Amino acid sequence: MSALSAGEGSLAERAREGDRRALARLLTEVENRTAAGEAAMRELYPKAGGAHLVGVTGAPGSGKSTLVAALIGEARQGGRPVAVIAIDPSSPITGGAILGDRVRMQIHAGDSDVFIRSMASRGHAGGLAASTVAAAAVMDAAGFPLIFIETVGTGQSEVEVAAIADTTVVVQSPEMGDEVQAIKAGLLEVADIVVVNKSDRPGADRAASQLRAMLTVGAQHDRAMGDRPRPKRPEVLLGSALTGAGVPELLAALDRRDDARRKRGTESLDSAALKRAEAQISGILAQRVSDQLRQPSRAGERSATLRAVAAHEIDPFTAADRLLALLGERGDG
């Protein structure tokens, strides 16, 4: 811990003063869910909330990392600092991971106002890591106004990013399939912006018009739905991360959404902020309950309950109720 306490001020203070090493160490503490990480979050969370969190998701190989790299370049032209959290999957077998998103972004490695952090999903499903939101809050408090959160390469239903990002960008390849793919439930429903990437390839225009046709077809129906929850009607943009075509337009579209979000202000908390709050609290609650149950004083009853469910002697609902009741009985063991 000596390296952690070296220098003046807490890690959180130093991270806010622009010390990138402190920021990196702090992200590790948060990622590892240490006591130091939690303490720093208590200090930093009230100072966060200003950044625009942009989720970037899509299938493996659709070009998410390359597109993020291009967006970084575009944002840096305007002088804005940019942070990135890039998540790749952990092996369910060994816990190991290859974090390869940086390869596409290394052109920005020499720029001290670009901070890129890779995270392994560590068993968390849904396309993110458990501590992604906390890591984004740390970057936000450290002064990054624009934060990209790149998910693992997703299938059709890893939509968690939409619950934590202010704006969700879904990246599609031109070879996405036919119109039926565009009307399926899941990923496309949560997009604020759909980017048909690789517009330098044949078929991109057609894919974009198919998406536009199918995603906007429900606009009239929306009005009839009144207050019921309904899917978003995303903008569909064409772009090529490779040639840079469409990238300025995409950043402009993101900035328009950010302006609208800011205009709504904090007094009327928008739903993205509320959803993010809920996602964070429920994640922490689940972790707290799990930590409590794992305390040595409860080990006996816990393992007996697990065995009873495994042997079908009691059902899992009864078991969960029993364990919850156990938490109420005793304080910290």
Partner 1 sequence: MTSPSEPQRPIKVLIAKPGLDGHDRGAKVLARGLRDEGFEVVYTGLRQTPEMVVSAALQEDVDVVGLSILSGAHMTLLPKICAGLRERGMDDVLVTAGGIIPDVDVPALKEAGVSAVFGPGTTIREVAEYIRGNVRRSN
Site string for partner 1, 275-304 (x = CB under 8 A): ---------------x---x----------
Q: How far is the CB of 322 from partner 1 (least distance, A)?
A: 19
First to last CA, the chain: 26
99 is an interface residue for partner 1 by CB under 8 A:
yes
If binding is defined by CB under 8 A, does position 6 make contact with partner 1? yes
98 binds partner 1 (CB under 8 A): yes
C-beta closer to partner 1: residue 33 or 275: 33
11 binds partner 1 (CB under 8 A): no
**Contacts (CB under 8 A) with partner 1, residues 12-31:** 20-21, 24-25, 27-28
Q: Does 5 bind partner 1 (CB under 8 A)?
A: no
User: Cα 262 from chain centroid?
Assistant: 20
Distance CA 102, CA 208 (A): 28
Rounded CA separation 306/236 (Å): 49
Sign, CA torsion 245/112/259/273: positive
Q: Which span (39-47, 97-105, 169-177, 274-282) binds partner 1, by CB under 8 A?
A: 97-105
* Window 134 to 163, contacts with partner 1 (CB under 8 A): none
Applying CB under 8 A, among 9, 17, 77, 91 the residue interacting with partner 1 is 91
State the minimum distance, in angstroms, from the CB of residue 237 to partner 1: 28
Of 65, 61, 53, residue with least CA distance to 149: 53
Q: How far is CA 249 from CA 118, 121, 205, 222, in A?
A: 27, 31, 16, 27
Angle between helices 271-293 and 132-141 in degrees, nearest 10: 120
Binding-site member from 38, 45, 80, 97 for partner 1 (CB under 8 A): 97
Q: How far is CA 231 from CA 159, 187, 210, in A?
A: 12, 10, 18
Give the Cβ contact number of residue 54 at 10 Å.
Answer: 26
Q: Interface with partner 1 by CB under 8 A: which residues? A: 3, 6, 20-21, 24-25, 27-28, 32-33, 90-92, 94-100, 102-103, 106, 109-110, 112, 115-118, 120, 122-123, 290, 294
